[in-house]
Structures are given as C-alpha cells and as structure tokens.
C-alpha cells in the first residue's frame, strides 16, 4: 500500500475536527432564529461538501478504494486515490505576445544611412582616382562658323538625340520621355507589394528593367555607332566618334 504523506493526514484530521465543531454548533442553535446572513441551503451545502471531503480524506488515509456504481473510479481521483482539481485552462495568446511571422524591418539609422555614407565615400574615391589618371581638358572656344562633324550632345542626352533620328521632334522630345516618366511615377501605386525581395516584385522589376535597357541601348548607339553627319557606322571599321 502506498504511504500517505503526513500533510494529507493532518489536513484530513483538521477537516474532521471542523466538521464536528460545525455540526455541534448547528445542533445547539436548532430551533432558535439564526443571526447569520448566509441562507440555510448554502450552509447545508457547505456542510455536505465538508463531510464529503472528510470522507475522501479518511478513505485516502486508510487506503480504502471506492468505486462508482458502474465499477469505475470516481471522478477527480488519481493514482493512489489522490484527489485532482483543475483550476482553469488559459490560452497562451492571452498572457504572452506570440508573433507568428517575424518583422524584417530595421531602423534608418544606422542600417541604411551607414551603408549610403560608405557608398558615397566609395564613389568619391573612384571619381578622384579616375580624374587623376584620365585627363578631361576643355576644348577650344566654340566657333559658330565651323560646326564639328559629328555634332553630338553629352552622353546623357544622346538617347534623345538618337530618338530624333527616328521620330518627329514632338514624339521624340515630349511624348516618349513624358510617357516613360509618368509610367515610372505610377509604378509604386500599381505594385503595392511591401516586400523588398526581387522575386516578389516581378512587375515593378520588369518595368524598371525595360526602361533602363531602352535608354541604355539608345545612348550606346548614339555614342559609338554614329559617325559624320550622325550616320550609322561600325566603330571597329570607321573608329569611334565620341569624346568623354
């Protein structure tokens, strides 16, 4: 037989003494009006519960196992006849903050501005070294009686100059650049995906790639494939008619 802990024996003895004292006080006060504000039915219910607890404690102390009428163990008893009580079940979300998806955001300083500052220093160093080894002298004063042939705009305007050889000036200088700029301005409103991963932003990435490649091809053709009279030529055959 399992050994009953001493604190359970003491608790059972205290419950028996209390039940005996309550029953004696009830018999002494029978027939006289009670001054207590507790209803009689609640007092009887508490006495019955106390008597039941004492009976369970006595059965635990004596090692006698009780069974229900169907032959099973009574509800609320565990191994060795110990009583079990379930207080409540609390969900984890109500007492702690559970985040299923981690937030991949960082502060602007120092994560972003630090990288941008290093990139600015690197660009400045590259420009300094490039200007040290590659000379960029000023040409002679412009002579309006003698126009250089070919007459080319700076490289960042050569895309527009190349468009002028294909379309009307209104189309090449206003319509096509205007449509391109408006499309780039509306792109963030057409693609509102908050992800910063390229595989999740295929629509916006494709729009920017088409714009960049379209302008880069025009600049390359105007710089290296246009000769005297701004006619099409091959640089490996006639040379390069372009100055930095």
- Model pLDDT for residues 69-88, shown as the tens digit of each residue: 454 544 545 555 556 665 66
15 or 88, higher pLDDT:
15
Of 21-35, 89-103, 227-241, where does the model show the most confidence? 227-241
pLDDT of residue 216: 93
Calculate mean pLDDT across residues 153-166.
Answer: 89
Cis peptide before 112 (omega within 30 of 0): no
85 or 240, higher pLDDT:
240
CA angle 68, 7, 16 (to 5 degrees): 60
Task: List, in sequence order, the alpha helices (H) in 63-102.
Answer: 92-95
User: Please, which pLDDT band fits residue 156 given cuts at 50, 70 and 90?
Assistant: confident
* Predicted TM-score (pTM) of this structure: 0.46
- Model pLDDT for residues 104-144, shown as the tens digit of each residue: 777 888 888 999 999 999 999 999 999 888 887 777 888 88
CA-wise closest residue to 174 among 155, 160, 191, 156? 160
pLDDT of residue 87: 62
pLDDT of residue 57: 52
pLDDT of residue 36: 47
Would you report the helix, strand and coil content of the chain in percent, each value rounded to 5?
60, 0, 40
Q: Please check the confidence at residue 93 and state whether its pLDDT lies above 80.
A: no
pLDDT of residue 113: 92
What does the alpha-carbon distance between residue 196 and residue 177 come to, in Å, rounded to a whole number?
Answer: 27
Where b means 16+ CB within 10 Å and e means fewer, 159-193 reads: bbbbbeeeeeeeebeeebeeeeeeeeeeeeeeeee
Calculate mean pLDDT across residues 21-35.
Answer: 57
pLDDT of residue 162: 92
């Amino acid at each position: 037989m399992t050994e009953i802990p001493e604190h359970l024996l003491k608790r059972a003895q205290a419950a028996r003494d209390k039940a005996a004292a309550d029953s004696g006080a009830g018999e002494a006060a029978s027939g006289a009006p009670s001054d207590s504000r507790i209803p009689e039915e609640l007092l009887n219910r508490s006495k019955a519960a106390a008597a039941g607890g004492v009976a369970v404690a006595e059965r635990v102390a004596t090692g006698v196992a009780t069974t229900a009428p169907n032959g099973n163990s009574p509800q609320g008893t565990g191994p060795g006849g110990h009583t079990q009580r379930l207080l409540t079940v609390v969900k984890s979300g109500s007492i702690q903050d559970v985040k299923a998806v981690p937030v991949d955001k960082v502060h602007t300083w120092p994560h972003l501005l630090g990288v941008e500052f290093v990139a600015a220093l690197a660009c400045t160093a590259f420009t300094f070294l490039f200007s040290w080894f590659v000379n960029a002298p000023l040409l002679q004063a412009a002579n309006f009686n003698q126009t250089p042939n070919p007459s080319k705009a700076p490289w960042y305007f050569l895309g527009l100059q190349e468009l002028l050889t294909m379309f009307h000036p209104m189309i090449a200088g206003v319509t096509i650049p205007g449509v391109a700029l408006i499309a780039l301005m509306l792109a963030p409103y057409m693609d509102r995906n908050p992800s910063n991963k390229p595989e999740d932003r295929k629509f916006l990435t494709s729009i920017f790639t088409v714009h960049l490649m379209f302008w880069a091809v025009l600049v390359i053709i105007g710089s290296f494939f246009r000769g005297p009279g701004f006619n099409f030529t091959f640089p490996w055959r006639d040379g390069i008619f372009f100055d930095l």
